[in-house]
A and B are shown apart, each in its own frame.
Chain A
Amino acid sequence: MRYIIALIVCIYPLLGSAQEWEDQQRFNDGVSGPPLRIIASTDTALFAPIIESFISENPTTAIEYLVTGTADIDRRFRADPNDFDLVISSAMDLQLKLTNDGLALPLEDIFAPAWAQWRQSLFAFTSEPAAIVINRAAFTGHAVPQSRQDLIQAMRARPEIFRNRIGTYDVRQSGLGYLFATQDARASETYWRLMEVMGSLDVRLYCCSGDMIDDLADGTIAVAYNVLGSYAAARIESKDTLEIILPSDFPTTMMRTAMVSRDAPNPALAEMFIRHLITRQSRPNEDSLLPPLSGPLNKAERATIALEPALMTFLDGLKRRKFLAEWEDAVIQK
Chain B
Amino acid sequence: MTASLIASGSLRNRLVLTLIGGAAILTLLLFFAIRNYAIQIAQQGQDNILGASATSILDAASIRDGTLEIDIPYASFSMLSTPSDDRVFYAIYQDGNFLSGYAGLSNPSVNPGRRSSFETTQFQGETVRVATAARTLIGAENRTQIRVYLAQTQDALSGTLDKISRNAALFGAGFFALATLLSFWASSTTIGQLKRLTTSVTRRGPQDLRPFEKPVPSEMLALVTSLNSLMGRLDQSLRQSEDFIAEAAHRVRTPLATVRSYAEATLQRVDKQENRQAMRSMIRAIDESSRAAGQLLDHAMTTFRADHLERQEIDLVELVGELVERLTPIADMKDVRLNLRSEGKITCSGDPILIQNAVRNLIDNALKYAPGESAVDIAMIMNPDIQIKVCDSGPGFPPNEIDILATRFTRGQNAAGTIGSGLGLTIAQDVAMAHGGDLLLSNRPEGGACATLSL
Give chain A's interface residues, CB within 8 Å of chain B. 100-102, 114, 117-120, 186, 306, 308-314, 316-319, 322
Residues A318 and B99 in contact in the complex (CB < 8 Å), given A309-B77, A310-B81 = yes
Give chain B's interface residues, CB within 8 Å of chain A. 68-78, 80-81, 83-89, 92, 99-101, 124-126
B100 touches A316 (CB 8 A): yes
A102 touches B92 (CB 8 A): no
A8-B398 Cα distance, complex, nearest whole Å: 135
A114 touches B83 (CB 8 A): yes
B101 touches A316 (CB 8 A): yes
A319 touches B99 (CB 8 A): no
A104-B70 Cα distance, complex, nearest whole Å: 29
Residues A318 and B70 in contact in the complex (CB < 8 Å), given A100-B87, A119-B87, A309-B88 = yes
Shortest beta-carbon distance, B119 to chain A, in Å? 20
**In the complex, the 6 A-B pairs of residues with the closest C-beta atoms, listed nearest first:** A310-B78, A317-B100, A309-B88, A310-B77, A119-B85, A308-B81
Q: Please indicate the chain B residues that have their CB under 8 angstroms from the CB of A313 in the complex.
A: 72-74, 76-78
Q: Which of B69, B74, B124 contacts A102 (CB 8 A)?
A: B124
Interface centre among B77, B89, B92 (most CB of A within 10 A): B77
Taking CB as reference atom, which chain A residue is nearest B85? A119
Q: Please indicate the chain B residues that have their CB under 8 angstroms from the CB of A118 in the complex.
A: 85
Shortest beta-carbon distance, B162 to chain A, in Å? 16
Residues A102 and B125 in contact in the complex (CB < 8 Å), given A312-B88, A318-B69 = yes
Q: Please indicate the chain B residues that have their CB under 8 angstroms from the CB of A311 in the complex.
A: 77
Further contacts, 7 of them, CB under 8 A, given A100-B88, A319-B72: A102-B124, A186-B74, A309-B77, A309-B88, A310-B76, A318-B69, A322-B69
Interface centre among B71, B85, B87 (most CB of A within 10 A): B85
A334-B100 Cα distance, complex, nearest whole Å: 31
Q: Please indicate the chain A residues that have their CB under 8 angstroms from the CB of B85 in the complex.
A: 117-120
B71 touches A319 (CB 8 A): yes
Shortest beta-carbon distance, B144 to chain A, in Å? 14
Q: Please indicate the chain B residues that have their CB under 8 angstroms from the CB of A117 in the complex.
A: 85
Residues A317 and B74 in contact in the complex (CB < 8 Å), given A100-B88, A114-B83, A308-B81 = no
Q: Please indicate the chain B residues that have their CB under 8 angstroms from the CB of A322 in the complex.
A: 69, 71
Taking CB as reference atom, which chain B residue is nearest A118? B85
A101-B151 Cα distance, complex, nearest whole Å: 13
A119-B84 Cα distance, complex, nearest whole Å: 7
Shortest beta-carbon distance, A248 to chain B, in Å? 23
Taking CB as reference atom, which chain A residue is nearest B84? A119
A310 touches B74 (CB 8 A): yes
Q: Please indicate the chain B residues that have their CB under 8 angstroms from the CB of A318 in the complex.
A: 68-72, 92, 99-100
A120-B155 Cα distance, complex, nearest whole Å: 12
Shortest beta-carbon distance, B55 to chain A, in Å? 16
B70 touches A319 (CB 8 A): yes
Residues A308 and B78 in contact in the complex (CB < 8 Å), given A118-B85, A317-B99, A318-B99 = yes
A102-B85 Cα distance, complex, nearest whole Å: 13
Shortest beta-carbon distance, B107 to chain A, in Å? 20
Q: Please indicate the chain A residues that have their CB under 8 angstroms from the CB of B83 in the complex.
A: 114
A102-B124 Cα distance, complex, nearest whole Å: 8
- 13 A-B pairs with C-beta separation under 8 A: A100-B88, A102-B125, A119-B84, A309-B80, A309-B88, A311-B77, A313-B72, A316-B70, A318-B72, A318-B92, A319-B71, A322-B69, A322-B71
A241-B72 Cα distance, complex, nearest whole Å: 42
A206-B81 Cα distance, complex, nearest whole Å: 33
A185-B92 Cα distance, complex, nearest whole Å: 24
A186-B77 Cα distance, complex, nearest whole Å: 14
Q: Please indicate the chain B residues that have their CB under 8 angstroms from the CB of A101 in the complex.
A: 124
Shortest beta-carbon distance, A305 to chain B, in Å? 11
Shortest beta-carbon distance, B94 to chain A, in Å? 10
Q: Please indicate the chain A residues that have their CB under 8 angstroms from the CB of B77 in the complex.
A: 308-313
Q: Please indicate the chain A residues that have their CB under 8 angstroms from the CB of B74 in the complex.
A: 186, 310, 313-314
A307-B74 Cα distance, complex, nearest whole Å: 13
Q: Please indicate the chain B residues that have their CB under 8 angstroms from the CB of A310 in the complex.
A: 74-78, 80-81
Q: Please indicate the chain B residues that have their CB under 8 angstroms from the CB of A119 in the complex.
A: 84-85, 87
A119-B152 Cα distance, complex, nearest whole Å: 13
B81 touches A316 (CB 8 A): no
Q: Please indicate the chain A residues that have their CB under 8 angstroms from the CB of B126 in the complex.
A: 102
A316-B73 Cα distance, complex, nearest whole Å: 11
A117-B89 Cα distance, complex, nearest whole Å: 19
Shortest beta-carbon distance, B441 to chain A, in Å? 89
Taking CB as reference atom, which chain A residue is nearest B70? A318
A199-B233 Cα distance, complex, nearest whole Å: 122
Q: Please indicate the chain B residues that have their CB under 8 angstroms from the CB of A100 in the complex.
A: 87-89
Q: Please indicate the chain B residues that have their CB under 8 angstroms from the CB of A309 in the complex.
A: 77-78, 80-81, 86-88
Shortest beta-carbon distance, B128 to chain A, in Å? 12
Q: Please indicate the chain A residues that have their CB under 8 angstroms from the CB of B75 in the complex.
A: 310
Taking CB as reference atom, which chain B residue is nearest A121? B85
A76-B34 Cα distance, complex, nearest whole Å: 49
Shortest beta-carbon distance, B190 to chain A, in Å? 55
Shortest beta-carbon distance, A333 to chain B, in Å? 21
Q: Please indicate the chain B residues that have their CB under 8 angstroms from the CB of A306 in the complex.
A: 81
A322-B67 Cα distance, complex, nearest whole Å: 11
A309-B102 Cα distance, complex, nearest whole Å: 14
Shortest beta-carbon distance, B101 to chain A, in Å? 7
A322-B71 Cα distance, complex, nearest whole Å: 8
A317-B71 Cα distance, complex, nearest whole Å: 10
Taking CB as reference atom, which chain B residue is nearest A122? B85
Residues A102 and B87 in contact in the complex (CB < 8 Å), given A308-B77, A313-B77, A316-B101 = yes
A311-B75 Cα distance, complex, nearest whole Å: 10
A322-B65 Cα distance, complex, nearest whole Å: 14
A317-B114 Cα distance, complex, nearest whole Å: 23
A309-B73 Cα distance, complex, nearest whole Å: 12
Q: Please indicate the chain A residues that have their CB under 8 angstroms from the CB of B68 in the complex.
A: 318
Q: Please indicate the chain A residues that have their CB under 8 angstroms from the CB of B88 in the complex.
A: 100, 309, 312
Residues A316 and B72 in contact in the complex (CB < 8 Å), given A308-B81, A310-B77 = yes
Taking CB as reference atom, which chain B residue is nearest A101? B124
A319-B68 Cα distance, complex, nearest whole Å: 11
Shortest beta-carbon distance, B137 to chain A, in Å? 14
Taking CB as reference atom, which chain A residue is nearest B125? A102
Q: Please indicate the chain A residues that have their CB under 8 angstroms from the CB of B92 in the complex.
A: 318
Taking CB as reference atom, which chain A residue is nearest B60? A319
A308-B80 Cα distance, complex, nearest whole Å: 8
A313-B53 Cα distance, complex, nearest whole Å: 12
A186-B89 Cα distance, complex, nearest whole Å: 22
A206-B292 Cα distance, complex, nearest whole Å: 140
Taking CB as reference atom, which chain A residue is nearest B89? A100
Shortest beta-carbon distance, B161 to chain A, in Å? 19
Q: Please indicate the chain A residues that have their CB under 8 angstroms from the CB of B100 in the complex.
A: 316-319
Taking CB as reference atom, which chain B residue is nearest A320? B100
A101-B88 Cα distance, complex, nearest whole Å: 9
